[in-house]
Structure 1
Amino acid sequence: MDLAAIVALAYGLYYRRHHRRDLLFAYVALNVGIFAVVSLLLVQRVDIAVGFGLFGVLSIIRLRSSEITQQEIAYYFIAIVLGLVNGLAGAWPLTALLLNGVLLAIMYVADHPRLLGRTRQQVVTLDVVHADPDLLRADLESRLRARVLHCVVTQVDYVRDVTVVDVRYAVPKTAPRMTGVRR
């Protein structure tokens, strides 16, 4: 049941929507590892200190990636929860099946492209420094060909005349989808 759930999450939902092979592997490996350890801890009587030690080790593992989004961290969390649910629910397979279904359904809906598909986020480096926030917004809308919803200046370099801005924007319905741009 755990393998079916993680394959549905990692390949059926995540990979088909986001196409990051490295994280697909990480989600599966993390889930299977959590499932195996929890299953072993349930079969073998161990001291509570071992359980705390396990979670201590998990807490020092950093999520390393060239770039990882909050959305991808959510997939990590669900992969861990699926491993825990399936590892702990050996005596209650129907409960595990129900929880797996609920978790997968929530991820399917929450990450569905139609839900917030027109909203994008991008870090933009401009070759100009705008003192006026309205001029900055107009410049961003012109360059992105979209309506800026929110922007935060993260860096200004007056020497090189550069501004770095974190922008949230909504593309028009008729705009072509940009390839290679992460949402």
Structure 2
Amino acid sequence: MTELDLNFTIRFLINIGSILVLCYGCYYRINKDAEVASSFVLFGVGIFIITRLLHGVDMSMEFAFGLFAVFTMLRYRTETISIKGMTYLFLVTGIALLTAVSEMPVLQIITLNAVLCFIAFIVDTKLLTGSHSTKLVTYERIENIKPEHRDNLLQDLRERTGLNVLSVSVINIDFLRDTAELMIRYLPDNNEIKGFSARTEGR
């Protein structure tokens, strides 16, 4: 029983350490979203504890991923999650499952988790992602979101935000309020004010 408790403690520390590095050293470093980062940490800890405790009843990796899918359908399907957010959520889940049910030696688990965190860190550097940034804006000139008016939309966003907008994606449309949630991708200016709010208002 002592060996089991020690093994659980070691794997738990490896899991939470790896997830903290991934969420705060990689995700939060770029996105500055503490709420999402902390949610990922709690999600990873919960997945680890559940899968580790159920591992004693001959739980397979397929069943563990099925459990993750159930959690995803119950909660995360109602939220708008970016592709990057879903990628980090998958990595958090993968690390938690790997640490909980893998039969590999502890040193190999640490090495593999470190490699995953290192790759995530490198991929999110400006060397690979470029120097662009993104912002979520609420836009009320809903007629401009039509594909044939894309040039007008980009020009209007550039004039009203003062940003060098490169591209825009429609996240959500509210026909009752005649507004749309847009994700804009732009080249940040050195004079950009920290904490600038890109929520546009009607003229």
- TM-score normalised by L of structure 1: 0.70
Specify every segment of 5 or more residues in structure 1 that has no aligned partner in the other structure, as ranges.
Answer: none
Specify every segment of 5 or more residues in structure 2 that has no aligned partner in the other structure, as ranges.
Answer: 1-13, 199-203
Deviation at 1:179, TM superposition (A): 0.8
Which residue, 47, 67, 74 being the options, matches 1:61? Answer: 74
Length, aligned pairs only: 178
- Aligned CA RMSD, in angstroms, stands at 3.8
Which residue, 81, 93, 100 being the options, matches 2:106? Answer: 93
**Bigger Cα displacement from structure 2, 66-75 vs 147-156:** 147-156
Amino acid at match of 1:25: S
Does residue 1:74 correspond to 2:87, yes or no?
Answer: yes
Indicate if the aligned counterparts of 1:151 and 1:165 stay in contact, CA closer than 8 A.
no
Does residue 1:136 correspond to 2:150, yes or no?
Answer: no
The whole-number CA distance in structure 2 between the counterparts of 1:12 and 1:109 is 11
Does residue 1:22 correspond to 2:35, yes or no?
Answer: yes
The whole-number CA distance in structure 1 between the counterparts of 2:167 and 2:182 is 8
Indicate if the aligned counterparts of 1:120 and 1:170 stay in contact, CA closer than 8 A.
yes
**Bigger Cα displacement from structure 2, 72-81 vs 57-66:** 57-66
Secondary structure at 2:76 match in 1 = coil
Amino acid at match of 1:147: N
Which structure's residues are more often helix, by fraction?
Answer: 2
Does residue 1:83 correspond to 2:67, yes or no?
Answer: no
**Bigger Cα displacement from structure 2, 2-11 vs 17-26:** 17-26
- TM-score normalised by L of structure 2: 0.64
Does residue 1:176 correspond to 2:189, yes or no?
Answer: no
Deviation at 1:155, TM superposition (A): 5.1
Give the aligned partner of residue 5 of structure 2: none
Give the aligned partner of residue 182 of structure 2: 166
Give the aligned partner of residue 51 of structure 1: 63
Indicate if the aligned counterparts of 1:146 and 1:170 stay in contact, CA closer than 8 A.
yes
How many percent identity over aligned positions?
Answer: 24
The whole-number CA distance in structure 1 between the counterparts of 2:183 and 2:53 is 46
Residue-by-residue CA offset, 1:141-166 (whole Å, 9 max, x unaligned)? 21222333234567597x98x56473
Cα pair distance change 1:113/1:178, threshold 3 Å: farther
Give the aligned partner of residue 112 of structure 1: 125
Residue-by-residue CA offset, 1:3-38 (whole Å, 9 max, x unaligned)? 211121233333454443433332222212222233
The whole-number CA distance in structure 1 between the counterparts of 2:15 and 2:186 is 38
The whole-number CA distance in structure 2 between the counterparts of 1:3 and 1:128 is 44
